[in-house]
A = this chain, B = another copy of it.
Amino acid sequence: MIENSIENNTHLPLLQFATPKVMAASEIYIPEGKIFKKIFYIKKGILRNFFVTKSGEEKTIFFRWEGQIVAIPECIFDNQPTRQTWQALEDCELMEIDFDMVEKLSENNISLIKTRLGLAQKMLLEALKRVESFVLDKPEERYQKLIREKPEIIKRVADKHIASFIGVTPVSLSRIRKRLASQKK
């Protein structure tokens, strides 16, 4: 399923300038501190972005997978270096597009700006849903929702990454899994 297609409409000019990028699983795509002024489309694979805490732990904030268009908000919106690291979790195939190009093309292309607005809105709804879940749900419920709503993604990602995604330690997630398994019987 294509989540944010760039292959279906009036934005062919973008694709013209897209360049392919291939990465192996576990490879670092974007290191912390970089001002990454590209957007990219994921043709294949999963990536995650994470913070490294003072004590060296990696805290995963989001997963991104095939069909999605990704922009790093702080870089693209604010021209700031990202404090996070982006890593391929599987062998990935991306299509990169220079963002300065997008900006230039946007100047007099109202349809392209509308596309950008749509993408920002989509990302916002996703982030808000996440906030909701942190406010309303216990970790156990967040985990259950995740299995229910994104089962195929969960299977492809290590539990330790899921753990920080829902805001708990890997040990705690393991206990949650155990509790849920015993309740089912």
Which positions 131-151 of chain A face chain B at CB distance < 8 Å? 131-132, 134-136
The chain B residue with its CB closest to the CB of A166 is B135
Chain copies in complex:
2
Q: State whether the Cβ of A164 lies closer than 8 Å to any Cβ in chain B.
A: yes
What residue in chain B is nearest A74 (Cβ atoms)?
Answer: B125
From 40 to 86 in chain A, residues with beta carbon under 8 angstroms from any chain B beta carbon are: 51, 53, 59-61, 73-74, 77-78
Bound-state Cα–Cα, A135 to B49, Å? 12
Chain A residues touching B, majority SS: helix
Q: Which residues of B contact A78 (CB under 8 A)?
A: 125
Q: Decide: A132 and B73 in contact? CB cutoff 8 A.
A: no
Cα-based distance from A133 to B46 in the complex (angstroms): 24
Chain B minimum-CB-distance residue to A77:
B121
Known contacts being A51-B136, A117-B120, A167-B135, is A128 close to B127, with CB within 8 Å? yes
B-contacting residues of A (Cβ < 8 Å)? 51, 53, 59-61, 73-74, 77-78, 108, 110, 113-114, 116-117, 120-121, 123-125, 127-128, 130-132, 134-136, 164-165, 167
